[in-house]
Structure 1
């Protein structure tokens, strides 16, 4: 989460260099949406552990659908808003998840060596 927050701050700082760049706007918006999705995922998984299995399965399905609706909605807006580059929005959305996996892999390697 720390590295992903750094990515978002970097994207916003990068945006200040050229505020007219659709690539930079797309990266900033996509990173923000990716962070929101990451936090929603974390909260849903944490709550899932306290529920009975039958309710938890429905709960997770609704959570996944909600996250997909957010992603598709933002990509739809990026398609119609000229100020946003659709590809950079998509990269920004997926990047927080990739960074989290890489960060966890580094954590596991350090834990194994210790």
Structure 2
């Protein structure tokens, strides 16, 4: 099974996290599990990767967070997307759709060869 490079994971981390949070609030470990499950195990954030991104998103006011006591009596920080975050996600989606279209165009067999 091929895994995604660290560089591609880094480039896609903001839209991935915002997309998960658009579905509903979540805490760190749950975010990690959701991305891993949605990717069929090909993408997995580590704690050391995820939490700095969450802090950055919070500084940019794209998400908010609050500490709560979970059912198992553990403290968890729950994250929620803001309206500004939803707007950013719309822009991220447009950017990724453009890049996907561009790459598909460039990867398509060419009818004329320059080489």
> How high is the TM-score relative to the length of structure 2?
0.30
- Larger helix percent: 1
- Larger strand percent: 2
**Higher RCO by CA contacts (8 Å cutoff, separation 6 or greater):** 1
> How high is the TM-score relative to the length of structure 1?
0.31
